[in-house]
Chain A
Amino acid sequence: METSSAVAARGLTKRYGDTVALEDLTLTVHDGEVYGFLGPNGAGKTTTIRLMLGLHRPTAGSIQVFGIDAWSDPVAAHRHLAYVAGEPALWPGLTVQETLVFLGNIRGTRDVEYERELIERFRLEPAKKVRALSKGNRQKIQVVAAFSARPALLVLDEPTSGLDPLMEVVFRETVAEARGRGQTVFLSSHILSEVEALCDRIGILRDGRLVDEGTLDELRHLASRTIEATFGGATPEPPRLEGLHAERAGEHALRFELTGPVAPLLRWLGDQDVTALESREPSLEEIFLHHYSGAA
C-alpha cells in the first residue's frame, strides 16, 4: 500500500530545541494528484518539505517518497523528485544557462528540448547572470530546472511568491500540463486562489498540525454555508437551531451561517413570507479563515 502513494508521512514530528515545528503529522499524497499544502507563515510547511527532502532529520516518525525513506536514503528518493525552494538560492556568478547546465549535470538527466520551451515560456534570458536577476526571475530558473527534469514528483514551496500575475498564469498552465502527464505535485502555498484553481486535494496546517484534509468539496462540509433570505414583511425572529448563527443583513433580510444540516432551516423558512433566497458555498478563503479564527 505504501508504494502506491507519492508521499507518506507517519507521525512526523520535528522539534528545534524547545520549539515544536511539526507535531505528529500523518499525510498521504496519492500518485498523480496535485496536493495543496496550505498554512500561514510559520505553520510548518517548509519544515515538512525539508523533512520530505531529507535535509532535516525527523525527531519522531518518518516520511517516505515513493516508499523510500527520505532521511536514510535521500539520493534514491531524489531520483524521483525535483524541488523549487521558496527562497531561491543559486550561484550569483553563473548565468541562467550555466545554472541549468550545472543543476542538470548534478542530477544526471534533463530534457533539453522541454527546457528550451520553458525558458521561452517564462521569458528567461539565458545569458543573464543570476546576481542581476530579481527574486521572481531566480524563482523561474528553479521552476524551469525542476519541470525540465520531468520527475515523478514536483515539490514546490511557495513557487509563485515572486512571480507577476502574467507569469503566475504561465505557471498554472505548466502545473496543469505536468498533471496531465501523470506527474504528482506537492504545492505548498498561502495563495488560496492558486490552490483552489490547481489542487485535487488540500491539507490545512496550523501550528505544526494538520487540522483538515480533503477535496475542496469535502472541506466545505466542515465550514459554514451562507444562506441569505429576504422577507416580504417585517423580519421575523430567527429560530434557535443547532449550528445556526443569524444576523440582520438590511431592513428585510437575514443572513444565516450554517454548519449543521440544512433541512430544519428550510422547514422554518417554508412558513415565512420569503421573497428571495440565496445560498452560497463557502470559498476556500472562508474555510481557511474558519480554521484559523478558532486559534485566537
Chain B
Amino acid sequence: MMTAARALAMRTLGRGRTVTISFALLFALYAVANIIGYRSTYPTLADRRGLQESFATTSSLRLFYGEPHSLLTTAGYVEWRVGGFLALVAGVFGVVASVRALRSEEEAGRLEVVLTGALTRAGGYGAAMAAVGIEVAAVAACTAVAVAAASISASGAAWMGADLAVTAWVFAGVGALASQIGSTRRAASSLAAVALGAAFALRVVADTSSGYGWVRWTTPLGWAEELRPLTATRPAALLPGLAVAAALTSASGFLAARRDVGTGLVSGRDTASPRLGLLRSVATAAMRDERTSLTTWLLGTAAFAVVVGSLSGSIAGALSPDVRRQLVRLGAGDIIRPSGFLAFYFQFFTLAVCVFACAQVAAARHEEGEGRTETLLALPLWRLRWLAERLAVAAGGALGIALAAAVGCWGGAALNGVHVGLGGMVEAGANTLPAGLLFLGVATALFGLVPRASAGLAYGLVALAFVWDLVAAVIDAPSWLRTLTPFHHLGLVPIRAYPVREAAVMALIGLATLAVGFAAFRRRDLTTA
C-alpha cells in the first residue's frame, strides 16, 4: 500500500515536472528582476518618494499588484510588486497542478488502472495530492531562496515563501474540489478558473474602492496581501488560508473516496437531441468543440477591459499637479491621460491574444494526439485544409478578443464619463494582432516540426517574451537584447502612432513561420500522444 502510493506520487511528480520547473523559474526570475530593477531605477530616497506618490496612490495599479504599504524600501516594494502579482500566479499554479494530478489522470483512464492495484480510492487521492503538495512547496521554496539571495532578510523571504505556498495550496484545494465535481479536465479547470476569477475580483474591489478594505478578508488573494511577509508580518493571516486549504482538500478526499471512478458529481447528460448546425465543416465543428473556451476568453477579456476602462479616469484625478510634473519629467507623462493609461494596459491584452493563439494550436495538436485527426484525414480531406480551418478559428477568436478589449475599454471608460474615443481603442486592439499572428505562426511551426513538445514550447516562448520585456528594461540589458521580444515593439497605441514598420515585420515573421508549419506538417507522419 505505501509503496504503491509512493509510486503513484512519484509518477505524478514526473509527469508534472516541466510545468513545476517552469513555474519555479518564472517565480524566481520575476522576483529577482523586480528587486534588482527597483534598486537601479529608484536608487535614492527622493526617487522612491516620487514613486510612492505617483503610482502607488492610483487605484489602477493596485488592480494587479494590490495595496502598497511602503514603497520607500526594497522590502516594501517587493512585497507589493512581487507578492501581489505572484499570489495570483500561485493560484493559477495550484489549480493547474491539482486538476492535472487528479482529473486529467482520471479522464485518461489511468486512475482506473492504478486503483485496480494495491491502492484504495482514498489512497490514490492522497498520493496525488501529496505530489501536488511537494510541487507547491518546491515552487515556493525556489521563490524564497531567490528573494533571500537578492539580499532581502531570510525570515522575510521565508514568510513570503510560506505566503505563496498557502495561497497555491488553497487553490490546489479548489482544483481538487472542481475535479470531484466536473467529469472532464476542461470542466474542472473552468470551474476552478471561475473561483480564481471571483477571488481576484474581490481583491480588486478591496484594493481599488475606498471603504471596502474589509472585503480583503473574504478572498484567499486578500489573505496573501494581509500577511505582509516582508514588512510588518502578521502570521495570523496564514490561518484562514490553512483552514480553507485543509477543509477543501479533506472534503475533496471524502468525495473522491465515495463516488464512482471516472464520473463527476455533475456529469452531463448521456443523451441529447441532435444539433447539426455547426457540423458542416472542420472549422465550425472546432468552434462547437471549443465553445466553452472561446466564450470564457471573450467574456473574460471584455470584463477585464471594462474594469480597466472604468479605472482609466481615476489616475489623472488622483495625482497632485506636483506629481504630474514629476511624471512628465520621468518620461511617463503619457500614462496619466486616460487613453495613455489604456494604451499601457493593451500590452496585457496583447499577451492574452498571444496565449490564445498558442492555446488554439495546442487544441489542434490535442485533437491529433487523441487520434481524432486521423479519423478525419482518412476521409477525403486534405491535411493542410484541416490545419487551415483550425487556424482560421484561432484567427477569428484572436480578432474577437482584440475587439472585446477595445470595446470593453471604451465602454468602461464611457460608463465613468471618460471619453477615450472608440477609434483609438480599436486601433490599440488592432495593434495586438501582429504579435498574435507572430505567435500563431511560431506555434504552428512547432506543431509541424516537433508535435509532441509543441504546446509547452509555444507557451514557454510567449511567457519568456513577455517577462523578458518587463525584466530587460529594469535590469538595463543592452538595447539589442531588449528588442528581441515582440512585446518591446508594441508602442503606446493610440496615444503614439501605430508602429507600422514593427507591425509589418511581426506579421511577416508570423506568415513565414506559418508557411514553415504548413510545409512541415505536410511532410510528417500523424503522431499520437
Contact = CB atoms under 8 A, between A and B. Distances in A.
A183 B281 CA distance: 28
B377 A105 contact: no
Interface string B177-209: 000000010000000000000000000000000
Contacts of A174: none
A92 B281 CA distance: 18
Interface string A82-101: 11010111111111011001
B372 A91 contact: yes
Contacts of B270: 128-129, 131-132
Interface stretch (A50-58, A220-228, A249-257, A270-278): A50-58
Given A55-B525, A85-B375, A98-B274, A78 B285 contact: no
B370 A89 contact: yes
B381 A75 contact: yes
A108 B379 CA distance: 9
Nearest to B270: A132
B271 A78 contact: no
A74 B271 contact: no
Nearest to A93: B289
Interface residues of A, number: 41
Interface string A159-190: 00000000000000000000000000000000
Interface in B374-391: 374-383
B524 interface: yes
B113 interface: no
Contacts of B374: 50, 55, 85, 89
Nearest to B525: A56
B475 to A, nearest CB: 42
Contacts of B524: 57
Contacts of A103: 375, 379
A127 B271 contact: yes
A127 B370 contact: no
Interface string B279-300: 1111001000100000000000
Nearest to B372: A89
A102 interface: yes
Contacts of B382: 74-75
A121 interface: no
A88 B370 CA distance: 10
Interface in A232-283: none
Contacts of A108: 380
B523 interface: yes
B526 A56 contact: yes
B330 interface: no
B271 A75 contact: no
Contact of A85 (B272, B276, B371, B383): B371
What is the interface of chain B mostly: helix, strand, loop, or mixed? loop
A101 B381 CA distance: 15
B372 A101 contact: no
A218 interface: no
A1 interface: no
Contacts of B379: 78, 103, 106-107
B496 interface: no
Contacts of B479: none
Nearest to B275: A98
B273 interface: yes
Interface in A61-90: 74-76, 78-79, 82-83, 85, 87-90
A4 B454 CA distance: 43
A83 B374 CA distance: 10
A2 interface: no
Interface string B320-356: 0000000000000000000000000000000000000
A90 B375 contact: yes
A125 interface: yes
Contacts of B377: 53-55, 74
B271 A95 contact: yes
A285 B282 CA distance: 44
B200 to A, nearest CB: 29
Nearest to B374: A55
Nearest to A47: B525
Contacts of A57: 523-525
A76 B270 CA distance: 37
Contacts of A50: 374, 525-526
Interface string B408-437: 000000000000000000000000000000
B323 to A, nearest CB: 55
Contacts of A85: 371, 374-375, 378
Contact of A127 (B274, B276, B371): B274
Contacts of A97: 274
Contact of A90 (B268, B282, B372, B523): B372
A88 B289 CA distance: 18
Interface string B66-107: 000000000000000000000000000000000000000000
A90 B184 CA distance: 16
B272 A106 contact: no
A95 B288 CA distance: 13
Contact of B371 (A78, A87, A93): A87
B272 A95 contact: yes
A88 B378 CA distance: 12
Contacts of A105: 279-281
Contacts of B282: 106
A5 B37 CA distance: 72
B289 A91 contact: yes
B183 to A, nearest CB: 8
A83 B271 CA distance: 26
Given A87-B371, A91-B289, A128 B271 contact: yes
A14 B280 CA distance: 35
Nearest to A92: B184
6 contacts: A78-B379, A98-B276, A102-B285, A103-B379, A105-B279, A131-B270
Given A53-B378, A89-B374, 18 more contacts: A50-B374, A50-B526, A55-B526, A78-B379, A78-B380, A85-B378, A89-B370, A89-B372, A98-B276, A101-B276, A106-B282, A106-B376, A106-B380, A108-B380, A127-B272, A127-B274, A129-B268, A142-B375
Interface of A: 50, 53-57, 74-76, 78-79, 82-83, 85, 87-95, 97-98, 101-103, 105-108, 125-129, 131-132, 142, 155
5 residue pairs, one from A and one from B, having the closest CB atoms: A89-B371, A132-B270, A83-B378, A56-B525, A102-B279
